[in-house]
Amino acid sequence: MSYAPILTQAQIDRIRPFAKPRQVAEGEVLYQPNDDTPPVFVVLFGAIRILTVMAGEEQPVTTYSTGQFSGELLMIAGRRSIYKCQVAEAGALLELSAANLRALIGRDGELSEIFMKAFLARRLSLQEAGQGNVVVLGSRYSANTLAVREFLTRDGHPFSYIDLDSDATAQEFLDRFGVATSDIPSASPISTRPPSRTSRPRGYA
């Protein structure tokens, strides 16, 4: 599966009727973590960057340039963004809303395969790297911690895990997120919202 395929001009032309053109400037923010389902951006020229936001600190995930496109499975599922997207190099984009993306892939078999394979490859890569907007703080010996991790894994939501029994930086994370040891396990959205604490995975639906 190709993580970042480059579309041909003919393929881009088939996307145009479903999208709207957009001129963008360097540094412009296209969407933030927790925004409603963000659009897919096809880069006509220039470049856009995807970033994770952890405790106010940004970390680059990848950059898409001419002929490539942003997005992953959350666009199909209609979920909120878990990343930040920012213009790395001024240029022109095609903005494809989630609804129009679904319409496009329902009508164009070739583009459907390209988008879906790329989205799946990206989600798998993010899961393997733990590059999501949730960090789970807990003990490897805790059944509740295991339940939370299994829930997020089944849901396909990328997350980071900090084992409080072995991670030397655990106390720093507890202090940073304002989590007391009595709140463990805790699954904390690390972008814009305060920690969510529960012992039952249904709290993260």
What are the chain's domains?
9-128 (2.60.120.10), 134-204 (3.40.30.10)
34 φ/ψ sector (left φ>0, alpha ψ -120 to 50, else beta): left
Query: How much is the average pLDDT of 100-119?
Result: 91
> 122-159: per-residue pLDDT in tens?
776 765 654 455 666 677 777 777 777 677 666 656 66
Is the link from the previous residue into 185 a cis peptide, with omega within 30 of 0? yes
Q: Return the pLDDT at 41.
A: 97
Do residues 94 and 16 lie in contact, with contact meaning Cβ atoms separated by under 8 Å?
yes
Query: Above 60 in pLDDT, residue 189?
Result: no
Coil, helix or strand at residue 95: strand
Question: What pLDDT shows up at residue 179?
Answer: 60
pLDDT of residue 205: 31
pLDDT at 109 over 60: yes
**What's the chain's average pLDDT?**
77
Residue in 148, 144, 185, 149 with CA at minimum distance from that of residue 164: 185
Confidence of residue 116 (pLDDT cuts 50, 70, 90): confident
